[in-house]
Amino acid sequence: MQRASRLKRELSILTTEPPPGITCWQNEDQLDDLRAQILGAADTPYEKGIFNLEIVVPERYPFEPPKIRFLTPIYHPNIDSAGRICLDVLKLPPKGAWRPSLNISTLLTSIQLLMAEPNPDDPLMADISSEYKYNKQLFLLNAKEWTEKYASQ
């Protein structure tokens, strides 16, 4: 019950006051199955891209973080080909930083920040990470190409 009312409140805030460049909505009538879109930030290789994400809210939410993954392919050291995201706030302690005080809006904003500033020291994609570290021009070129190919409307 608590989970449902919290989710309804969070969705209502996401609808009325969404973070800049982020939208989130229910997938059909499932309260625990959400979709989100993140616009690629200006001055990043993801600029003008529209990235779709799937958010699955677990039974134990907010005591357990939602499972979020990219549906749109993205060239990024911290996001793998299945769309899984390596980000501490998406995992429970001790390895992660999830806390019940966080919400879906915060998580989506964190993902948006990760897109703009990858963390090559905690990669899911080792090859993309070393490209980001040692050949940034090539990384930027590849990321921009993928954005044009998969995330352009």
Largest CA distance in the chain: 50
Overall average pLDDT of the 103-113 stretch: 97
Q: Point out the residues that are catalytic.
A: 86
Q: Write down the pLDDT at residue 146.
A: 98
The number of beta carbons lying within 10 Å of the beta carbon of residue 15 is: 12
27: left (phi over 0), alpha (psi -120 to 50) or beta: beta
- The answer, yes or no, to whether the previous bond of 62 is cis (omega within 30 of 0) is yes
Residue 1 has pLDDT above 80, yes or no: no
Residue with structure tokens 């994609």? Answer: 125
Q: What is the pLDDT of residues 16-61, one digit of tens each?
A: 999 999 999 999 888 899 999 999 999 999 999 999 999 999 999 9
Q: Write down the pLDDT at residue 31.
A: 84
User: Domains (ranges, CATH) in the chain?
Assistant: 1-151 (3.10.110.10)
pTM comes to 0.95
Nearest-5° Cα angle at 19, 106 to 122: 45
State how beta strands 50-56 and 30-39 pair. Answer: antiparallel
